[in-house]
Structure 1
Amino acid sequence: MSIPTSTSVVESAVIKAPLSQVWHQIKLQNFSDWWSALKSSDFVKGTSEDTDIVKWTFNDGTELEVKQEEHSTINHYITYGVITSKPELSYSSVLSTIRLYSVTSGDLEGSTFIEWTGNFSSDADAGVIQDAKFKRRDALADLAKVVANK
């Protein structure tokens, strides 16, 4: 019997670096520069840069091809979906968005608020959602470390 679960995940963080510095890192082909779970992130051979399909190879051997669906340098967000996976995913689809906001006042003024969401198909189970939550938390912590050292 499956456990009913939300099919979305939202993780966020405040990164103590200016938005421009953090935004510079948010390119699918650059994720392996800061996300320690990734061994590599490269444009898929045979596709043009305009297609924006990137292969993420994780340290555990998992390979995902992700396609950028939306990108805004004005509103500072990207949306991407997984189009292929080795091994095969246990769910049909996921669409993720990473959105950045400048913190403009208060103790953390000059920092960046970052939100990373994932909206999964209804066949994703609680384990998938938990895994996505912790992967995003780890990745955001990795990103904060990298931009803090710049």
Structure 2
Amino acid sequence: MSIPTSTSVSESAVIAAPFSAVWHLIKLQDFSKFWSKLEKSEWVKGASEETDIVKWTFKDGTVLDVKQEEHSSIDHFITYSVISSQPALSYTSVVSTIRAYPITSGDNEGQTFITWTGNFSSDADAGVIADAKFKRREALSDLAKAAASGSKK
């Protein structure tokens, strides 16, 4: 018998870098520029003109094809879904959104607040959700390092 679990995850961070330095890195094809778990991230050639698909190759050998579902340079978010995986995922689907907000006042003025959510199909178990939580935390930490070093150039 499986244990009921939430099928969503939400992680957030304050990144000590200007908004422009962070937002510049939030492109599916550029995730390997900051995420230490990724070997490479590249456009999938041959996908239709209306479909933006990026292949993420992780250092552990996992390969994900991710589809950009929505992107807003006005509201500063990107939404993507995983459309295929090698090896196969243990769940049916996941849709993730990364949002960035400039912090305009207070102690963190001039920095960036970022959220990274994931909504999984109901067949995702607690292990999947926990793994997603830790991967997002690690990736946000990597993003903070990349944005901070990029903003000093």
The TM-score range, normalised by the shorter chain, is over 0.9
Kindly indicate whether residue 11 of structure 2 is the aligned counterpart of residue 15 of structure 1.
Answer: no
Give the drift of 1:45: 1.8
Give 2:135's aligned residue. 135
1:77 and 1:48 map into 2 onto residues whose CA distance is 23
Alignment of 1:61-140 (within 5 A): 61-140=61-140
Q: Is the 8 A contact 1:43 1:49 kept in 2?
A: no
Give 2:58's aligned residue. 58
Counterpart AA for 1:120 = F
Q: Is the 8 A contact 1:68 1:78 kept in 2?
A: yes
The two structures have a TM-score, normalised by structure 2, of: 0.96
Counterpart AA for 1:116 = W
1:56 and 1:9 map into 2 onto residues whose CA distance is 20
Gaps of 5+ in 1: none
Number of residue pairs aligned between Structure 1 and Structure 2: 150
1:39 and 1:48 map into 2 onto residues whose CA distance is 25
Name the SS for the 1:47 alignment partner: coil
1:80 and 1:10 map into 2 onto residues whose CA distance is 15
Counterpart AA for 2:35 = W
Q: Is the 8 A contact 1:81 1:95 kept in 2?
A: yes
Give the drift of 1:47: 2.1
Give the drift of 1:20: 1.2
Give 1:6's aligned residue. 6
Describe the superposition over 1:5-46 as per-residue Cα deviations: whole angstroms up to 9, x where unpaired. Answer: 000000000001111110000000000000000000000121
After TM superposition, which residue ranges in structure 1, 4 or more long, deviate above 6 angstroms?
A: none
Name the SS for the 1:137 alignment partner: helix
Give 1:45's aligned residue. 45
Q: Percent identity?
A: 73
Gaps of 5+ in 2: none
Give 1:147's aligned residue. 147
1:69 and 1:20 map into 2 onto residues whose CA distance is 22
Give the drift of 1:49: 6.2
**RMSD, aligned α-carbons:** 0.9
The two structures have a TM-score, normalised by structure 1, of: 0.97
1:37 and 1:49 map into 2 onto residues whose CA distance is 29
